[in-house]
Amino acid sequence: GQSLEQPSEVTAVEGAIVQINCTYQTSGFYGLSWYQQHDGGAPTFLSYNALDGLEETGRFSSFLSRSDSYGYLLLQELQMKDSASYFCAVRFSGGYNKLIFGAGTRLAVHP
């Protein structure tokens, strides 16, 4: 089967660093994506890892380890506007644009 697991909630303070983990089980795999969704809004693309290693985009970084079926999203210098839900999503071989999403991690950033 295909499944992803991520923590349901994470809390942090402004200026801090937070890591959101994602583990997946799959029989075929193309890459791991991360999406952000604010309450009442649409999911928006943050990053994608096709190969092992770290991808950095400004304050956000994403990491993938294929051998461990594991990835994470790292958010640095947290701001209040980062309070949102974060979803990891996997595209499987042959799945074209079929994304399997994790249940989402709700990040609350406090002053």
Partner 1 sequence: KAGVTQTPRYLIKTRGQQVTLSCSPISGHRSVSWYQQTPGQGLQFLFEYFSETQRNKGNFPGRFSGRQFSNSRSEMNVSTLELGDSALYLCASSSGLAGGTQETQYFGPGTRLLVL
Window of 17-25, 56-64, 74-82, 100-108 that interacts with partner 1 by CB under 8 A: 100-108
Q: Residue 5 and residue 58: Cα distance in Å, rounded?
A: 25
Beta strand 105-110 with 9-13 is parallel
Q: Is 3 in the site for partner 1 (CB under 8 A)?
A: no
State which H helix or E strand residue 25 sits in: strand 18-25
Residue list 17-56, contact with partner 1 (CB under 8 A)? 30-31, 33, 35, 41-45, 48, 50
Residues that bind partner 1 (CB under 8 A): 30-31, 33, 35, 41-45, 48, 50, 87, 89, 91, 93-104
